[in-house]
């Protein structure tokens, strides 16, 4: 399998792509969630005490191969809801055979 092309997008464009194309798929039973990093959110995040700052990978099987659909940052509140905007903040998304990454220097 050849490596998919990579395109870099500004944060807003990557969020829009993720929210419209990837986010609706995350509830599917064939999408796996893997928390890669999890730590107490810093006080400077403005999140309630007990909130976790997490890096999460979402993957699925396509044509018999495990494919990473997205890599996101999220604040997980103590009640299990997502903090800040209420949506994960994407750092990478895979759509239509292209890997989309956050522009260098973007947050």
Structural domains counted in the chain: 1
Residue 93: the pLDDT is 97
Closest among 76, 74, 67, 75 to 94, alpha carbons compared: 67
Task: Determine, yes or no, domain membership for 1.
Answer: no
Task: Determine, yes or no, domain membership for 74.
Answer: yes
Structure tokens at 4: 């998919």
Task: Determine, yes or no, domain membership for 18.
Answer: yes
Mean pLDDT per block of 10 residues along the chain (107 residues) reads 89 96 93 96 93 97 92 96 92 95 79
Residue 29: the pLDDT is 93
3-state secondary structure of 45: helix
Q: In Å, how far are 3, 5, 39, 53, 86 from 99, measured between CA atoms?
A: 9, 6, 27, 24, 24
**Burial degree of 58 (CB within 10 A; 0-12, 13-18, 19+):** buried
Residues of the domain holding 97: 6-102
């Amino acid at each position: 399998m050849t490596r998919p092309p990579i395109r870099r997008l500004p944060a807003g464009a990557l969020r829009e792509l993720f929210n419209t194309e990837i986010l609706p798929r995350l509830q599917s039973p064939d999408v796996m969630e893997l928390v890669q990093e999890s730590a107490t959110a810093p006080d400077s995040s403005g999140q309630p005490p007990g909130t976790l700052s997490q890096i999460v990978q979402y993957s699925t099987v396509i044509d018999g191969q495990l494919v990473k659909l997205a890599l996101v940052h999220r604040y997980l509140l103590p009640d299990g809801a997502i903090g800040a905007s209420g949506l994960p903040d994407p750092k990478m998304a895979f759509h239509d055979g292209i890997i989309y990454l956050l522009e260098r220097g973007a947050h």
